[in-house]
Structure 1
Amino acid sequence: MQSPIPGYLETILDSVRADTSGHVADYIPELADSDPKPLGLAMCTFGGNLYSVGDDGTEFTIQSVSKPFVYALALQRRGWNKVQQTVGTEPSGEAFNELSLDRNTKRPMNPMINAGAIAVNQLINGEDSSVEDRVEEIREFFSALAGRELSINRALCESELETADRNLSIAHMLRNYDVIQDAAHDAVRSYTLQCAIEVDVRDLAIMSATLANGGVQPITGQKILNPDVCRMALAVMASAGMYDAAGRWMTTVGIPAKSGVGGGLIGTLPGQLGIATFSPRLDIQGNSVRGVKIFQKLSKDMGLHLMAAEPQGEYALRNIHTEGQDSVIRLQGKVNFPAAESILDEMVDHDFTGQRLVLDISRVSSFNRMGRRLIKEGLRSLREEGFEVAIYDPEDILKDLQYSDGTEAETLGSLESRSLEEKD
């Protein structure tokens, strides 16, 4: 069978595709000439399953989406005390390029605004590092997170430096208060090269999933960051990742996130998955218009809001076994999106041999909307492959038995179901 998840993600893209509001970042010459049409979406689970649709292979510069990852690298290499001496963790409520410092400490308010990101960049590879050595360490770190070699768009970097007066002003302010030691031009060049690393949405989803997975890259299995570092990076993303729209974002979407003026947007659900979108047109806060809408839809459909009282669905697949001519798929507990994705992943790889497939949900306590949708679509996919499919649901948990094509799932009667009762 084929997983229904890519099809669902395609419907999400189709729902926002017609929206042409917003504008590309026209204050950077190279970005001003970029194509505003690409639209991509990727999702990577903590188990290492990657789903991507749309323009998922289109590369773009990471820009400010780099900030939480470089902050995590600084924490990993320099430690909490050193990083905390350089940058705070409080939301500023200001635009990303505001010239401001904490009035008491004279440090940047957090690492997600440009002042904080420039200061954090200077911690990488030590304060005495050359620009090229520092940037190479960041590029290698990003490559490990993505699981492939990433490159730097140096032409875009030079274009961005032509209009970097505001960031230069920020760097001079940081030097004035001894937050950084490099010359202002070198500090801004180092930060701009960091932002010019090229990625696609698949890379960003995997990188985000690494934070969700406590620092273990979910596809390569490499341990890159400590869990405490990931926790701190995600906490700052939650409070400050969307700049002066952070409060509204956490209220409506509820996913730790970070945007970039190149059109990228990431979200990370701890212990669950990483999500990334790409759409270059930006709103007034500098966030991708269609990317924000996609996240709003995903959060609502999949029950991803961190503050929602949504139980997690671990170990929802009890077993798959054969009884006579039936292949029986037994589920248990609460089935939400992560649980359904894990179940479908097992079903995709399973070699079903019975003439009939029976989904036994007698031990399932509840489905959320997305869990129910995906499980039903998985059954429909198996039916289209030629299997006879039925559901054993003695407690009427599933309720809505209609597939997306308008047909209804077959249910087993009480007499047939007796042979399916598990012997304890």
Structure 2
Amino acid sequence: MDPILEMLDDVLADVAPLTDGAIADYIPELASADPDQLAFAVVGPRGRVISTGDDRAEFTIQSISKPFVLALALRERGRETVLRTVGVEPSGEPFNAISLEDVTGRPANPLVNAGAIATTSLIEGDTEERTGAIVDILSAFAGRSLWIDESVYRSESETGHRNRALGHLLRSYDIIDGVVDDIVEAYFRQCSVLVTVRDLAVMAGTLAFGGVNPVTGHRVVSERIARDVVSIMASCGMYDSSGEWLLRVGLPAKSGVSGGLVAVAPSQFGVGAFSPRLDDHGNSVRAAAVVERLSEDFGMHLLEIHETISEPAISVERVDGGVTVRLGGELGFAGAERVLSVLKDAVRADVHVTVDARDVARLHPAAASLLRARLDVDPGSLTFLE
């Protein structure tokens, strides 16, 4: 069994017994979700997506769309125009709070509902054109064509009175320009795009690797835009629990009320998780627990000390019919994936491989576990020196 997948399965098994929280029922179509669904996916710098659990289950993206539409607004309108429309400060309030600056009427940030509606208004065109541009950017981040769940869209539109009120309030301050109903309908449509947990991992990975989709290799947005979006996710992505999230998990993230969650480990991994039960902040209980466990076990906290992360120094020497793989720098979880690919090629060639990690400045325990797991698979073919 793939040692990385085995470690992810262990994380999922530990989190599965959690039954806290409740499914979002204020959008009728979401109330019918299976509360026991649980899935998890990661994608590394080489574009390999690894997933486990209910990883083929589809669900609507909901508020996870917000950072990616922000990226589109930044690309189309520029940072200064976006900042005149919406702030970048944590609100400290629930995601649907009516909270605007006293004088300007500007929303606190793009990741609460008021700010997301303002961001959507910055995308040019009528409802159809705006929606098309948004679906296109979400698809580019995911690396495949996405589409809208029309039944969820209708359910959101029929019950979205508070969001319409936010739209009209923003219009009264001239924060948004145009027909309020057109803008809000486009917002409902962006939230109703269907994704899987694998899509979320690739979308997060595109931000993690500076705007380049790790699967397709296509540049979706510039490095600066990716950095700006990830910065806002770090402080605002988990609503009024964002501060505690940054302390405990240390990964920029964004949640959605269907139970999805994306997290960004810069230069290491994009992460997607899904489980429908939500806590009082509107964040998935089990998806959050999965990502917290991943961060803790695999050393992904944003503020953990690193030298090199996803690209450790690797040299391969072929001597006396064997192969020695020498490692240097720091070897973390992401870098270990690259080492495993080197070992896979060498073992397939039916030669003895020595992995010499004695010059590694810092060997993270998760990376060492992955390499030892490979020893268990091919005990006679590998020697690990540390």
- TM-score normalized with structure 2 length: 0.96
Contact 1:277 1:291 in 2 (8 A): yes
Which of the residues 370, 386, 390 maps onto 2:383? 390
**Identical amino acids, percent of aligned pairs:** 42
Q: Secondary structure at 2:167's aligned position in 1?
A: helix
Q: Residue type of the partner of 1:247?
A: G
Please name the residue that 1:73 is paired with. 72
Bigger drift between 307-316 and 27-36 goes to 307-316
What CA distance in whole angstroms lies between the structure 2 residues aligned with 1:340 and 1:189?
Answer: 45
One-letter code of the match for 2:103?
N
Instruction: Trace 1:105-254 onto structure 2 (pairs within 5 A).
Output: 105-124=104-123, 126=124, 129-254=125-250
Matched, 1:287 2:283: yes
Structure 1 19/315 Cα, relative in aligned 2: closer, same or farther at 3 Å? closer
> Matches of 1:256 and 1:8 in 2, distance apart?
22
Verify the 8 A CA contact 1:48 1:219 in the aligned structure 2: yes
Q: How far did residue 332 of structure 1 move?
A: 1.9
Displaced runs of 4 or more, over 4 A: none
Equivalent residue letter for 1:390: T
- 1:104 paired residue number: 103
Alignment partner of 2:258: what SS?
A: coil
CA contact (8 A) 1:43 1:275 kept: yes
In structure 1, the gaps of 5 or more residues are 399-424
Letter in 2 for 1:175: R
1:129-161 Cα deviation digits (max 9, x unpaired): 211111011111111111111110011111112
CA distance in 2 between counterparts of 1:256 and 1:315 reads: 21
Residues 313 and 29 of structure 1: CA distance in aligned 2, closer, same or farther (over 3 Å): closer
The one of 308, 311, 315 aligned to 1:312 = 308
* TM superposition shift of 1:322: 2.9
| Aligned twin of 1:300 | 296
User: 2:242 & 2:65 partners in 1: Cα distance?
Assistant: 17
> How many angstroms apart in 2 are the aligned matches of 1:259 and 1:231?
18
In the superposition, the TM-score normalised over structure 1's length comes to 0.88
Residue type at the aligned position of 1:270: P
Contact 2:67-2:229 within 8 A present in 1 as well: yes
Q: Does the residue aligned with 1:173 lie in a helix, a strand or coil? A: helix
2:142 and 2:203 in contact (8 A); partners too: yes
In structure 2, do the counterparts of structure 1 residues 315 and 163 end up closer, same or farther at CA, with 3 Å as the change threshold?
A: closer
Sort the Cα spacing of 1:186 and 1:333 in 2 relative to 1 into closer, same or farther, 3 A: same
Unaligned runs of 5+ in 2: none
Q: For this pair of structures, how many residues does the alignment match?
A: 386
1:365 corresponds in structure 2 to: 361
1:8-30 deviations in Å (ceiling 9; x for gaps): 10111000111111111011100
Letter in 2 for 1:263: G
Q: Is the 8 A contact 1:102 1:108 kept in 2?
A: yes
Q: 1:352 deviation in Å?
A: 4.3
Measured on the aligned residues, the alpha-carbon RMSD in Å equals 1.5
Conservation of the 8 A alpha-carbon contact between 1:3 and 1:344: no
Aligned partners of 1:261, 1:389: CA distance in 2, in Å?
46
| 1:39 paired residue number | 38
Q: Could you say if the C-alpha distance between residues 224 and 355 of structure 1 is closer, same or farther in structure 2, counting changes exceeding 3 Å? A: closer
Distance in 2 (CA, whole Å) between partners of 1:141 and 1:350 is 39
SS in 2 for 1:328: strand
